[in-house]
Chains A and B, each alone.
Chain A
């Protein structure tokens, strides 16, 4: 019986559960002995000119090794010129980040553009001295008007980048002319908000660095050690061979630790500049303004169709707040546009987007990166359409979901969906949840006028994973002469359990037991080439690379075993149950992997794979059931039922874990989380007291249903599961809240559906009802 597809507990856990992981702050490697601690001095104002920095007092503070400002950065090469043929800034394909007039410095030069922008670094012998010394750095700021509101940004009265002449670095798509909606009996339009979020990985950002003998070693809490190496190489003008990047255990990332950011580069630079090893571990307050934020789109949605439920046209026009620096160029709203029409067969789809800069923390990828925004918009649009024509939202979906015989399906957004069973997913959820009984209960409560009203929210989604599959992923397998195997993977797990999964693949293909398989990742000395983990790409690309490397090793071993057994290759078989090679039908001939590998030579058997492929499109349906206290506005999520179909499941335990985590983050966006700035650009939700991360007490246990519609692009049949749960959960919960209040005439509530916001909607609806009734 193959191990593939079975629930296997993780090989990562024994250490994590006994001595804990080794995150950057836990490293006790010789290179970091006596490392100085880095404390950043960050701007407390959102937009200002820097008119002076005085570090004299700070330099005298106890334990201070150095206080570094932009004036000290005299030892870095200028950035290279843009390569020829590079798409210009403003186009969707513009490189990330945007350079030219939008270039982001390492330390702020003559102005700051967001609260939290780094202005200086303080190096001290120990941690406690750092904050003391940093307080003594005196920076003079001449405030400039803060640009926070999106319309103010567009209007451009105050420019963040005067040389650019605008606050709108990207503007694509045709303005609406409405013609696509002619022929629709019903057209609904709305402006909705997909609010700014903070990723809040439990481990914040952290970097340690050491320069010795012309070689730079950087330990970074990153999702991509190899990409980070190239980033450092470019920043320092070094040959990548002179740099080693290590991703130790990483305490969560969710897209916000892709590569290495300016703070990480500064830490590495500080090590070079002072000759002393350094370590930086950000505090949570720093993290909430210094780590990139996610989402932050304002969307104008227009949906049109006929009264029988058919959707004919859909438009999503996005303004993407990118924060103070356009690190992602137009990429996030591009993905929003690509996935705009979701799993629906809509004939006419229009997208347009603008990216604007504001004096806030820069925006980057956060679990879903542009796709949750697309799904949240179209799922609200579908429910708005359903409400307008008076049809049940499940029925509207059923009518419009792409049917199974239309795959591969070219969507109106420009994507080609590979495989899917969208209606089946919807029906599976609706049946398992007892949708009709729930509707009946909802009706009973409405009839009685209960304080606690029930809401049902659906979201059907499709999402794109491994969008950069053409970039591929690497794997090397070595089977050693002692029968153990080592897997070197370009993937970079930060909680996903790749070590377990890749060991399962090896055991499945080669019969080498998991406890004899060591998986290594995240160290460019060991794995020089690779992409890393984001975009839910790892199983389909990294896992397939491991699988193909295993197949390669197996075929090499076949030849070696044939030689060893003096038999011909076709007569040999690999018994994966026992991990032995033998002549078919002759168990006495069996030889172990150790023997075969030893026979291959002193280096055993090795295979290297660089696997490239195409994106895949997981899909599903979520149903959220909420109870709304109509007297207070408080919402309780009481059930959440899902299908998340990401193709063939390698380890159900791991897949479920990814779904659970995704659902929790998705529900949290709908109900609790929002990064808020005041009009002066000061973060109002700057600590975990105010930025409301969901706890166990606010969530139910989730009801996950199984559905496997294999991908056809890779031999594992796998699509990506990491972000799907988040993408489906947010709109399901938001739709449920609106549904709970629809009998009051409420058609929309923006996220997060906090008690205050929900009550405001109820109060406005009941007031206008009272007014109407009174007339």
Chain B
């Protein structure tokens, strides 16, 4: 219930934040909304010795129309994403998925950057980033670099970020193919997805079908070859490795993936 003791530091700039974390190495973590990290710390599953608070850096909180791209500051909250009229118009998949994260209180605090950096395979936004071919901008002591979403998620709770790198921005090209959908299947509305599907045009990403979010490449190929939603969806579980737990066996998840992909593709066609 109570985190182990740690030292709290507040950064007044991105560079300062990076510097503070770089100094303490493995024992320092960035704190944005804290809604992935603090729950782990309260159960003492994570015991960082230093937290560097970046939650107030307004330079990390924005949603900008940059012509053929949209740029989202990493510390933008899920609630802000969900309420954004810009996103609602130009990137509704992101706005809609953000509106499904957790509950209203969580959405007032949790951030897109935090969610992506935490890389829980059952989280909604990592799969969305994958479906949108987002570019994740990371900054560290050595400077800034762009990481394609396809290269970002490396394993269970593991990303391409170095420990002292901070996500600063998520850049997404405005989709040329209209038609999007998001299917999140869970027991209760507040639960993590048992399986989820994010669709943008012909790009399909899966939530909780592996240790990272994954693109349903079998589905995408079928679609590109002109398959119907039902035909394409039959490939949904190919190449995936879903876990077995209280919420379902592997075969149940594979089945759900096929059903949800089909529904998502049908939805997307209707939206187009």
Is A in direct contact with B (CB under 8 Å) within the complex?
yes
- B187 contacts across to A, CB distance below 8 A: 634, 672, 692, 754-755
Are A695 and B246 CB-contacts (below 8 A) given A283-B1, A631-B259, A760-B252? no
Alpha-carbon distance between A95 and B42 when the two chains are bound, in angstroms: 41
- B194 contacts across to A, CB distance below 8 A: 755-756
- Chain B interface residue number, banded: 20 to 34
A128 in the interface, Cβ–Cβ < 8 Å?
yes
Partner of A132, one of B5, B43, B192, B255: B5
Q: Which of A127, A128, A756, A759 has the most CB of B within 10 A?
A: A756
B4 in the interface, Cβ–Cβ < 8 Å?
yes
A569 in the interface, Cβ–Cβ < 8 Å?
no
Is A634 touching B188 in the complex (CB atoms < 8 A)? no
Is A756 touching B248 in the complex (CB atoms < 8 A)? yes
A750 in the interface, Cβ–Cβ < 8 Å?
no
Are A632 and B259 CB-contacts (below 8 A) given A685-B246, A694-B188, A756-B247? yes
Across the interface, name the chain B residue whose C-beta is closest to A752: B187
Per-position binary interface string of chain B over residues 213-256, scored 1 when its CB falls under 8 Å from any chain A CB and 0 otherwise: 00000000000000000000000000000000011110010011
Alpha-carbon distance between A285 and B43 when the two chains are bound, in angstroms: 9
Alpha-carbon distance between A250 and B208 when the two chains are bound, in angstroms: 40
Is A759 touching B4 in the complex (CB atoms < 8 A)? no
- A695 contacts across to B, CB distance below 8 A: 188-190
B191 in the interface, Cβ–Cβ < 8 Å?
yes
- B260 contacts across to A, CB distance below 8 A: 632
Alpha-carbon distance between A206 and B47 when the two chains are bound, in angstroms: 28
Chain A 681-723 interface residues, beta-carbon cutoff 8 Å to B:
684-685, 687, 689-690, 692, 694-695, 697-698
Alpha-carbon distance between A631 and B185 when the two chains are bound, in angstroms: 12
A392 in the interface, Cβ–Cβ < 8 Å?
no
- Chain A interface residue number, banded: 20 to 34
Are A127 and B2 CB-contacts (below 8 A) given A676-B246, A697-B190? yes
A131 in the interface, Cβ–Cβ < 8 Å?
yes
Residues of B contacting A: mostly? loop
Is A756 touching B252 in the complex (CB atoms < 8 A)? yes
Alpha-carbon distance between A634 and B195 when the two chains are bound, in angstroms: 13
Across the interface, name the chain A residue whose C-beta is closest to B251: A763
Is B188 touching A632 in the complex (CB atoms < 8 A)? no
CB distance from B36 to the nearest CB of A (A): 13
Is B190 touching A756 in the complex (CB atoms < 8 A)? no
Is A672 touching B2 in the complex (CB atoms < 8 A)? no
- B248 contacts across to A, CB distance below 8 A: 755-756
Is A698 touching B189 in the complex (CB atoms < 8 A)? yes
Per-position binary interface string of chain B over residues 14-55, scored 1 when its CB falls under 8 Å from any chain A CB and 0 otherwise: 000000000000000000000000000001100000000000
Alpha-carbon distance between A128 and B3 when the two chains are bound, in angstroms: 9
Alpha-carbon distance between A685 and B247 when the two chains are bound, in angstroms: 11
- A685 contacts across to B, CB distance below 8 A: 246
Is A692 touching B185 in the complex (CB atoms < 8 A)? no
Is B189 touching A697 in the complex (CB atoms < 8 A)? yes
CB distance from A699 to the nearest CB of B (A): 10
- A676 contacts across to B, CB distance below 8 A: 246
Is A684 touching B246 in the complex (CB atoms < 8 A)? yes
Across the interface, name the chain A residue whose C-beta is closest to B192: A689
Is B4 touching A132 in the complex (CB atoms < 8 A)? yes
Across the interface, name the chain B residue whose C-beta is closest to A281: B1
Is A128 touching B188 in the complex (CB atoms < 8 A)? no
Alpha-carbon distance between A544 and B187 when the two chains are bound, in angstroms: 44
Is B247 touching A754 in the complex (CB atoms < 8 A)? yes
CB distance from A206 to the nearest CB of B (A): 13
Per-position binary interface string of chain B over residues 116-132, scored 1 when its CB falls under 8 Å from any chain A CB and 0 otherwise: 00000000000000000
Is A692 touching B188 in the complex (CB atoms < 8 A)? yes
CB distance from B259 to the nearest CB of A (A): 5
Is A690 touching B1 in the complex (CB atoms < 8 A)? no
Alpha-carbon distance between A132 and B44 when the two chains are bound, in angstroms: 10
* Interface pairs A-B: 6 shortest CB-CB: A697-B189, A283-B1, A756-B248, A631-B259, A131-B2, A128-B2
Known pairs A695-B190, A756-B249. 14 more at Cβ < 8 A? A130-B2, A135-B44, A631-B259, A632-B256, A632-B259, A672-B188, A695-B188, A698-B188, A754-B187, A755-B185, A756-B194, A756-B248, A756-B252, A759-B252
A-B pairs with beta carbons under 8 Å apart, 12 shown: A285-B1, A631-B259, A632-B185, A632-B260, A689-B192, A692-B187, A692-B191, A694-B188, A695-B189, A697-B188, A754-B247, A755-B194
